[in-house]
Amino acid sequence: MGYAQIYKSWQDDPEGFWLSAAGGIDWVTKPSRALDASRAPLYEWFTDATVNTCWNAVDRHVIAGRGKQPAIIHDSPVTGTKHVITYAELQDRVSRLAGALKAKGIEKGDRVIIYMPMVPEALEAMLACGRIGAIHSVVFGGFAAHELAVRIDDCTPKAIIAASCGIEPSRVVHYKPLLDAAIEQATHKPDFCVIFQREQEVAKLTPGRDVAWHEFQFGVTPADCTPVEGNHPAYILYTSGTTGAPKGVVRPTAGHLVALNWTMRAIYNVGAGDVFWAASDVGWVVGHSYICYAPLIAGCTTVVYEGKPVGTPDAAAFWRVIGEHKVKTFFTAPTALRAIKREDPEGKLVPPLPGLQALYLAGERADPDTIHWAGKHLNVPVIDHWWQTETGYAIAANPLGIEHLPVKIGSPSVAMPGYDVQVLDEGGHAVSPGTLGAIAIKLPLPPGTLPTLWNAEDRFLKSYLTHFPGYYETGDAGYVDADGYLYIMARTDDVINVAGHRLSTGAMEEVLASHKDVAECAVIGVADDLKGQSPLGFLCLNKGSNRPHDEVVRECVKLVRDQIGPVADFKRAVVVDRLPKTRSGKILRGTMVKIADGQPWKMPATIDDPAILDEITTALQSLGLAKA
Ligand code: COA
Ligand code: AMP
């Protein structure tokens, strides 16, 4: 069957479609039905089933005779090491870690924060939690202590599993002092922390609270898999929203298993024994779904790469990994390819890669230049696909395992089964093809997508389900063409996308506003050739502040780095007298973005004082922006 028939088969019988997909999963108790609409518009899937994630990702492959197959290849140019872990070894390592967690009192439903770099132990920690029904929450290593503290207070973990350090090309990231500071700042305190000591930096343990990874597991009884209900949360992953408080996206166990397993064949065209590589980080949703869970659920070999696209050691690093480990399907963010293209515009460092089947891009809009460059030099289909932390897998894609649809550059192609994607006007009416609008998905969302936000059902309803009743609001704007191809153009909220990282300008504004000299501020995302967008702050200083502007700017840049983390990449700010606002006091961020990017813009009818835009233009020009 082709894409159109499969999509129609889902439309005609969603229940049958997902029950059939559920056949790819080993159940303890099989689901008798797929959708549970008893609390609509809050939907859940496979609620009467019981299942275990770790069993499906690890144990079943060993039983099926693939124990000797590599499950994880750790390739770490930043430490100069490579290491293979087979499925049998993974089962052993994960069941021992799970046994140790259990022995220390971690039970089904308890939360465990994981704060680790790109090491296999991060995946093992995730799987060990799943094995005993604990709910993990992985925190990205590029966040500062404050962000970790916010997450500790929100999900109140009984334990934290962390590494002693991470390694960025230019520096060692000292995880342990960040962890200690976060626990100090947080109101909630974990019972204990497990520290994975790395050779590059052995951290000092806090007596009575911290225990070293190996010692923790010494002599324990390995744990078996605990069956959990289909709607039991597998994990919580925090993502940026409009305000400084991150949203705790909840991932339900059974839907996650069913949907991810389905995507591996249908979208990525891979199966057991294939090598799959997503060059992302376990701290992001791509890392959860396509470094850890989906490849393992499907019995593939997953590559855990601890390095960068460039500089570790050069712009050929990705191609070396693909060739050396025989990667069949590769997934990365456009920004990584732009970084490579900038250093190797002619593609001279790209060798023939006969085993590579396709390249998948996501995380931000894939620009045509990048797609052309990659297609020309890799000589494989380049598949842009669109998704979000909230969904956990692609909403729109070109499903290579079903049918390689004609590619339209600039579009992540078509809606996947499970997703009825509509473009709506402000009144919630579907617009005609080619017309820009808010992108919404008709409820229910498919299995595996977020059923709610952790401890914040009202926020979930308000953020996603209220604006367009009967729909999930994606927060993206765009249009659909006459062939049903989607075009994702911009966010409708204050979220920006910097190097494929989703960041909240609202969160940065909260930090800037806390500076003693700042009376008012605004942060916008301006176009950036490499990173897609780059944050830029406007600061209005308190009356009477006569401090040198460059000093305040420097302090503000440091403040955002210290509070949110280096990942915010907040390096530029400018002092202005006033911010442009509507008469009702709303800051005109959209207009400032257009001016900064040198795009055509119209004077907003509701503007309070048009002259302010001249001042803003001058300030932007002083930074080399706002070129006509
Ligand atoms: N731990 C600690 N710090 C981290 C980090 C981590 N895991 N990841 C990034 N950082 C730091 C970087 O060291 C950098 O710090 P600096 O300001 O001291 O230089 C800062 O955060 C910004 O990082 P980044 O935006 O990644 O910029 P970069 O210049 O280091 O690298 C790219 C640019 C394009 C090579 C890089 O962003 C990249 O590979 N992007 C792909 C992202 C991706 O895969 N996203 C997943 C979505 S699918
Ligand atoms: P995240 O939750 O970090 O995965 O970020 C999700 C957001 O990234 C989406 O809402 C989009 O704004 C953007 N995004 C992800 N993939 C794409 C894509 N293929 N094309 C355009 N935007 C994308």
The residues spanned by each domain of the chain are 84-226, 499-621
| Average pLDDT of the segment spanning 405-429 | 97
| Average pLDDT of the segment spanning 568-596 | 94
Q: Are the C-beta atoms of residues 129 and 97 closer than 8 Å to each other?
A: no
The CB of 538 under 6 Å from ligand 2? The reply is no
Asked whether residue 627 carries a pLDDT value surpassing 90, the answer given is no
Ligand 2 centroid to Cα of residue 388, in Å, is: 5
Asked whether residue 563 carries a pLDDT value surpassing 80, the answer given is yes
Ligand 2 centroid to Cα of residue 236, in Å, is: 19
Instruction: Give the whole-angstrom CA distance, residue 583 versus residue 196.
Output: 55
Asked whether residue 242 carries a pLDDT value surpassing 80, the answer given is no
Give the pLDDT confidence score for residue 244 in this predicted structure. Answer: 77
The CB of 364 under 6 Å from ligand 2? The reply is yes
The CB of 388 under 6 Å from ligand 2? The reply is yes
| Average pLDDT of the segment spanning 11-34 | 98
Which of 314, 384, 567, 571 best tests ligand 1's pocket when mutated (most atoms within 8 Å of CB)? Answer: 567
Instruction: Give the whole-angstrom CA distance, residue 525 versus residue 503.
Output: 10
Instruction: Report the CATH number of the 84-226 domain.
Output: 3.40.50.980
Helix or strand or coil: residue 399?
coil
Give the pLDDT confidence score for residue 494 in this predicted structure. Answer: 87
Q: Are the C-beta atoms of residues 40 and 465 closer than 8 Å to each other?
A: no
| Average pLDDT of the segment spanning 414-438 | 97
Asked whether residue 245 carries a pLDDT value surpassing 90, the answer given is no
Per-residue pLDDT tens for 113-127?
Answer: 999 999 999 999 999
Q: Where are the beta strands (DSSP E) in 481-567?
A: 486-491, 495-498, 501-504, 518-528, 532-541
CA contacts within 13 A on the Cβ side of 227: 11
Per-residue pLDDT tens for 208-233?
Answer: 999 999 999 999 999 999 999 999 99
Which of 308, 331, 530, 560 best tests ligand 1's pocket when mutated (most atoms within 8 Å of CB)? Answer: 308
Q: What pTM was estimated for this model as a whole?
A: 0.96
Instruction: Give the whole-angstrom CA distance, residue 296 versus residue 287.
Output: 12
Mean pLDDT lowest among 53-67, 465-479, 493-507: 493-507
Q: How many CB atoms lie within 10 A of CB 169?
A: 12
Residue showing tokens 């480990």: 325
Helix-strand-coil percent breakdown of the chain, rounded to 5?
A: 30, 25, 40
Instruction: Report the CATH number of the 499-621 domain.
Output: 3.30.300.30
Percent of the chain surpassing pLDDT 90: 96
Give the pLDDT confidence score for residue 241 in this predicted structure. Answer: 82
| Average pLDDT of the segment spanning 442-448 | 98
Ligand 1 proximal residues by C-beta, below 6 Å: 141-142, 166, 168, 173, 279-281, 284, 286, 308-310, 332-333, 335-336, 339, 362-363, 499-501, 566-567, 569
Which of 171, 569, 572 best tests ligand 1's pocket when mutated (most atoms within 8 Å of CB)? Answer: 569
Instruction: Give the whole-angstrom CA distance, residue 132 versus residue 226.
Output: 5
Q: Which residues contact 29 (CB under 8 A, 6 or more apart)?
A: 48, 49, 50, 51, 227
Which of 476, 496, 503, 531 best tests ligand 2's pocket when mutated (most atoms within 8 Å of CB)? Answer: 476
Residue 493: phi and psi, rounded to 5, are: -120, -160
Ligand 1 centroid to Cα of residue 567, in Å, is: 6
Asked whether residue 598 carries a pLDDT value surpassing 80, the answer given is yes
Ligand 2 centroid to Cα of residue 153, in Å, is: 27
Ligand 1 centroid to Cα of residue 368, in Å, is: 23
Ligand 1 centroid to Cα of residue 345, in Å, is: 21
Give the pLDDT confidence score for residue 30 in this predicted structure. Answer: 98
Per-residue pLDDT tens for 528-543?
Answer: 999 999 999 999 999 9
Instruction: Give the whole-angstrom CA distance, residue 400 versus residue 394.
Output: 13
